[in-house]
Structure 1
Amino acid sequence: MSFETATAINSEQHPYTAEIAEGWDVVGNANGGYLLAIGARAMATAAARPYPISVTAHYLSPGRPGPVTIDPQIVKAGRRLTTVRGTLASTEKPLIELLGSFADLEGFEGPARVDASPPDMPPPDECPRTVPDLELGFPPAMMGRVDLRLHPDDANFLSGKPSGDPLIRGWLRFPDDEPMDPFGLLLATDCFPPTIFNANLPVAWTPTVELTAHIRAIPEPGWLRCRFSTRFISGGMMEEDGEVWDSSGRLVAQSRQLALTPKA
């Protein structure tokens, strides 16, 4: 199933409906970036603006495969941006609360200064591909839905030898030449292994509390180059800052995530 199909929205009635598809999960719980993309598609439809510019999600409950509803509400419709809020909910409970701004990315122009560059990476064929282990649950099932290849220096946690630096770099694309649109970039900000896996600290999945993604441009076809880093792990929480660069070397997305850390 393609990402576009797996995040499709039915907007014929309000609230809108969608389906959390099988296989986009981490140990049974739908990936946070995947849920964010479903909600953002509904919000963009309600805004009549094609793309997310900035979307923030607060995660309330895990999402499981099955039907969901999204009730986008226009906060303000401006000349260039429309701001929308919404709740993505299962039949039992709300899953995430969202607030975002939507626009036509192709209409944004202005001065440019970028004081950063894409992460240095070996070619994709020299980077180990992360594939799911459905029996163990790690790597998770959603790794079968994307082509994700980790920088060799950042992949040793898979064999129990973390680098000691809370840093994860890698290549990303969809299989079968599916294009990566701005909604796919929302997924990209949250589908890499947590940086804490390389931090020489207790290893477990880190539930997302809040995720904000900024979409800066429509990506060119080809591999995305991604970098996620953490500076502060304290008080039972951690932040994770993300950069996503397209095949032309242009920054196309940024993210910041607040997540719970494993108990010692």
Structure 2
Amino acid sequence: MRYRADVRPGWEIGEISNGGYLLALAGTAMADAVGRPPLTVTGHYLTPVRPGPAEVDIVVVRAGRRFATVRATLVRDGKPMLAVLGTFGVADDNAVRRVDGDPPQITTSSVPAAQPARPDEPPFPSMNERLDVTLRPGDDGFRRNEPPGHAEIVGSFAFADGGPVDELALLLATDAFAPPIFNSGLAVAWVPTIELTVHVRAVPVPGPLRCVFRSRFISGGLLDEDGELWDDSGRLVAQSRQLSLYPRP
């Protein structure tokens, strides 16, 4: 099964399409193929992707009564660029629920991530113009060479046009913030994603998401990032884990 895909401009970091956007693009085709929303999706990034036409090749590995497992490959000119494996279905809202955690606090003085850059700051990614993302005061310090010293970023996420954030949009939201390692005091550098996994825990209610992303370990040239996304009602709606390359000093 093959879907046509348009990797649209305006979702780049520099010249490279954002990994969360690409995961959502492939996830949309996968969800359509089985008629179910995503529960867990893992993407392996094989090569940098730029805007332009592409295809998504779909294989339904198994479709059961409750869950469907789907494999997808984002392809351009016969070259695989992103390999994805996911389980799709509907979570049981009547099942046992226990959450050992709380949503991050977003203050009214949070900083818009897409505000115009000052002359001494690097330009913002083009995708920021499509998003309404704010950061906790101080969490934008890496842009001014004033990192707060913790590998953590807290902020809110919504679309700039007010569009709804559904299960597929959660895949994009998990990769919409700057890497939290930028706030640790280490050198700010390109940290390309190798693998990104998203667990969708619930359908968000209308309103901005409250998000927190943390990095704890760098070893072997690899960097981890864990994320939590909470909706406006205070419910956990997604978790993410990302593995990225970290450059040598």
Provide the TM-score with structure 1 as the length reference.
Answer: 0.89
Q: 2:201 matched to which residue of 1?
A: 216
Specify whether residues 183 and 137 from structure 1 end up closer, same or farther in structure 2 by C-alpha distance, changes over 3 A only.
farther
Rounded to whole Å, the distance in 2 between the matches of 1:48 and 1:137 is 42
Checking the alignment, whether the CA contact within 8 Å between 2:74 and 2:82 is kept in structure 1 is: yes
Rounded to whole Å, the distance in 1 between the matches of 2:19 and 2:169 is 12
Rounded to whole Å, the distance in 1 between the matches of 2:230 and 2:30 is 25
Specify whether residues 203 and 92 from structure 1 end up closer, same or farther in structure 2 by C-alpha distance, changes over 3 A only.
farther
Q: What pairs with 1:169-208 in structure 2 (closer than 5 Å)?
A: 169-208=154-193
Identity %: 49
Q: 1:129 matched to which residue of 2?
A: 112
Q: 2:42 matched to which residue of 1?
A: 56
1:77 aligns with 2:63: yes
Rounded to whole Å, the distance in 2 between the matches of 1:205 and 1:183 is 26
Rounded to whole Å, the distance in 2 between the matches of 1:137 and 1:23 is 17
Rounded to whole Å, the distance in 2 between the matches of 1:231 and 1:150 is 20
Counterpart of 1:209 in structure 2: which amino acid? Answer: I
Rounded to whole Å, the distance in 1 between the matches of 2:245 and 2:134 is 25
Structure 1, unpaired ranges of 5+: 1-13
Q: What pairs with 1:133-144 in structure 2 (closer than 5 Å)?
A: 138-144=123-129
Q: What pairs with 1:38-53 in structure 2 (closer than 5 Å)?
A: 38-49=25-36, 51-53=37-39
Q: 1:67 matched to which residue of 2?
A: 53
Q: 1:256 matched to which residue of 2?
A: 241
Rounded to whole Å, the distance in 1 between the matches of 2:123 and 2:77 is 28
Paired positions, count: 246
Checking the alignment, whether the CA contact within 8 Å between 1:53 and 1:102 is kept in structure 2 is: yes
- Cα deviation, residue 91, structure 1: 2.4
Counterpart of 2:49 in structure 1: which amino acid? Answer: G
Rounded to whole Å, the distance in 2 between the matches of 1:153 and 1:185 is 25
Give a deviation string over 1:2-58, Cα, whole Å, max 9, x none: xxxxxxxxxxxx411010111100011000000000100111111121x10000000
- Cα deviation, residue 78, structure 1: 1.1
1:158 aligns with 2:132: no
1:175 is paired with a residue whose SS is coil
Give a deviation string over 1:103-143, Cα, whole Å, max 9, x none: 134x54301110000012212xx21111276x986321111
Return the match for 2:153 from 151, 154, 168.
Answer: 168
2:175 is paired with a residue whose SS is coil
Q: 1:247 matched to which residue of 2?
A: 232
Give a deviation string over 1:121-174, Cα, whole Å, max 9, x none: 212xx21111276x9863211111101101013121121111111001101100
Q: 2:6 matched to which residue of 1?
A: 19
1:147 is paired with a residue whose SS is coil
1:153 is paired with a residue whose SS is coil
Provide the TM-score with structure 2 as the length reference.
Answer: 0.95
Rounded to whole Å, the distance in 2 between the matches of 1:209 and 1:119 is 27
Q: 1:93 matched to which residue of 2?
A: 79
Return the match for 2:16 from 13, 29, 34.
Answer: 29
The structure where helix makes up a greater share of residues is: 1
